[in-house]
Amino acid sequence: MNVHDSEKMLGILHGQGYARAESPEGADLIIFNTCAIREKAEQKFYSQLGRTKMLKRRRNEVKIAVAGCVAQETKERLFGRAPYVDFIVGPQNIHLIAETIGGERRTALLDDNRELASTEVAARRGSEIKAWVSIMFGCNNFCSYCIVPLTRGREVSRPSSAIIAEIRSLSEKGYKEVTLLGQNVNSYCSDITFPQLLRRIDALGIERIRFVTSHPRDLSDELIRAVAELPHVCEHIHLPIQSGSREILSRMNRGYTYEEYMVKIEKIRSEVPHVSITADVIAGFPGETSRDHEETLRALRAIGYDGIFAFKYSPRKGTKAAEMDDRISDEEKSLRLGEILKLQEEITLRKNRALEGTVQEILVEGPSDTDGTLLMGRTRTNKIVTVAGDGYVQGSFVQVFIEQARHHSLSGKPLPC
- Supply the minimum distance, in Å, between the C-beta of residue 138 and ligand SF4: 9
Shortest reach from residue 48's CB to ligand SF4, in Å: 24
Map the footprint of ligand SF4 across residues 255-284, applying CB under 6 A: none
Site string for ligand SF4, 102-141 (x = CB under 6 A): -------------------------------------x-x
SS3 (DSSP) at 66 = strand
Does 183 interact with ligand SF4 (rule: CB under 6 A)? yes
User: Quick one: 215 or 251, whose CB is closer to ligand SF4?
Assistant: 215
340 binds ligand SF4 (CB under 6 A): no
Sign for the CA dihedral angle at 223, 228, 229, 231 comes to: positive
CB of 242 to ligand SF4, least distance (A): 8
Which of 214, 360 has the CB closer to ligand SF4?
214
The CA-atom distances, in angstroms, between 114 and each of 48, 74, 136, 255 are 30, 20, 11, 26
Among 68, 90, 149, 377, binds ligand SF4 (CB under 6 A): 149
Binder among 21, 99, 142, 289 for ligand SF4 (CB under 6 A): 142
Query: Does position 309 bind ligand SF4 by CB under 6 A?
Result: no
CB of 212 to ligand SF4, least distance (A): 11
Residue with smaller CB distance to ligand SF4, 91 or 149: 149
298 contacts: CB under 8 Å, gap ≥ 6: 244
Dist CA 301 CA 112 (whole Å): 42
Burial 105-129 (b: 16+ CB within 10 A, else e): eebbbbeebeebbeeebebbbeeeb
Dihedral sign, Cα of residue 196, residue 197, residue 203, residue 206? negative
Size of site (CB under 6 A) for ligand SF4: 10
In the complex, least distance from residue 249 CB atom to ligand SF4, rounded to whole angstroms? 12
Cα–Cα dist 95/97, whole Å:
6
To ligand SF4, the closest distance from the beta carbon of 28 in angstroms equals 34
Residue 245 CB neighbour total at 10 angstroms:
24
Q: Per-residue DSSP letters for 111-122?
A: ---GGGGG----
Q: Left, alpha or beta for 255 (phi > 0: left; psi -120 to 50: alpha)?
A: left
For 102-220, strand residue ranges (E) read: 107-109, 130-134, 136-137, 156-157, 177-181, 208-212
Nearer to ligand SF4, 265 or 362 (CB): 265
Q: What is the footprint of ligand SF4 within residues 196-215 (CB under 6 A)?
A: 215
User: Which residues form the interface with ligand SF4 (CB under 6 A)?
Assistant: 139, 141-143, 146, 148-149, 183-184, 215
